[in-house]
Amino acid sequence: MNIIVCAKQVIDVSEMKVDPSTKKPILQGVTQKISDIDKNAMEEAIKIKDKNGGKITVLTVGPTDAKERIKELLAMGADEGILVSIPDKYDYHVISSLIAEAIKKIGDYDIILCGEASIDLFSGQVGPRVAGLLNIPQITYAQSLNAEKDKVTAERNMGDHAVTTESTYPVLITVTKEINEPRLPSLMQILGAANKPIQDWTADSLNSGLDPMVNTVELKGVSMERKNEIFQNDLDESINKLVESLAKEGVLR
């Protein structure tokens, strides 16, 4: 069974700082990592391969340093990586088209696995968009999966209800964070990953005529102005002050 895992390099949002004067996020110099939920997709791919055999290819569109992130997934258990260079100007249309073109070039695939969304921008657009471009079935928000020889069955988390969906191959599946606990590779696996192949494909070689259809014209800061009145001395006194304040705010009715 041939499995493709789509993974994105993102900034570690929990380490991101905000410029105190402009309130804008400072994106330079923040640690890069693989988007958390993409690691769940990777873990699920390993489980499917353990059960059914096959090959796992990691596909990333990103800058050259994303190769280091691909190595983390090779250490977890992927067989091969492909890094597609990221164009200067891009949007979901450009990225999804490059992923779809790369998948067509890989050619032989049964399951494409993605995280339900990336943790930096959290759109969840790429998975279903790629499924649309490839015109294959999509199963989103999978919280459990069972891949068999001719079909895959997934339980989808729809919030207030769960939908069990089954599909033949090829299929694109997006997974939630709850589907599994991604493994931590051993030192041997990390060392072994250095010998696994990573191919470099240029965006132009896949499709040279891609222009964004949506442009980010501004990244605005968000002000989180709060009173920050913190009571921390005598507990009974603190509680009285809090209750008085809440009463004055008019929320105790």
Partner 1 sequence: MVLVYSDDKKITFELLAKATELAKDLGTKTTAAIIGKADEILAEEYVSYGADIVFIAESSIDNFKAEEYTDIFENIIKETGEEIILIGSNKNGKELASRLAGKINSGCVIDSTNVYLKDKKLTVERVVYSGNAIAVEQFSSKPNIVTVPSKVFDPLKKDDSRNGEIIKKKIDGEKSNSKIVKVQEMKTGGVNVEDAEIIVSCGRGFKSKDDIKLVNELADVLKGKTVGCSRPIAADMKWLPEDHWIGLSGHKVKPKLYIAAGISGQIQHIAGMRDSGIIVAINKDPEALIFKSADYGIVGDLYEVLPKLTTAVKEKMG
Name residue 225's amino acid. E
* 235 touching partner 1, by CB under 8 A: yes
Nearer to partner 1, 160 or 197 (CB): 160
Q: Which of 25, 146, 198, 207 binds partner 1 (CB under 8 A)?
A: 25
The 147-166 contact track toward partner 1, x by CB under 8 A, reads: ------x---xxxxxxxxxx
Q: Which of 50, 68, 148, 178 binds partner 1 (CB under 8 A)?
A: 178
Q: CB under 8 A: which stretch of 38-46, 56-64, 132-140, 200-208 binds partner 1? A: 132-140
What Rg, from alpha-carbon coordinates, does the chain have? 22
For 181-218, letters b (16+ CB in 10 Å) and e give ebeebeeeeeeebeebebeebebeebeeebeeeeeeee
Closest separation between CB of residue 89 and partner 1, Å?
10
Closest separation between CB of residue 199 and partner 1, Å?
24
- 68: phi > 0 → left, psi -120 to 50 → alpha, else beta; which? alpha
Closest separation between CB of residue 158 and partner 1, Å?
5
Closest separation between CB of residue 16 and partner 1, Å?
6
4: how many CB neighbours lie within 10 A of its CB? 27
* 92 touching partner 1, by CB under 8 A: yes
Closest CA to 171 of 100, 244, 113: 113
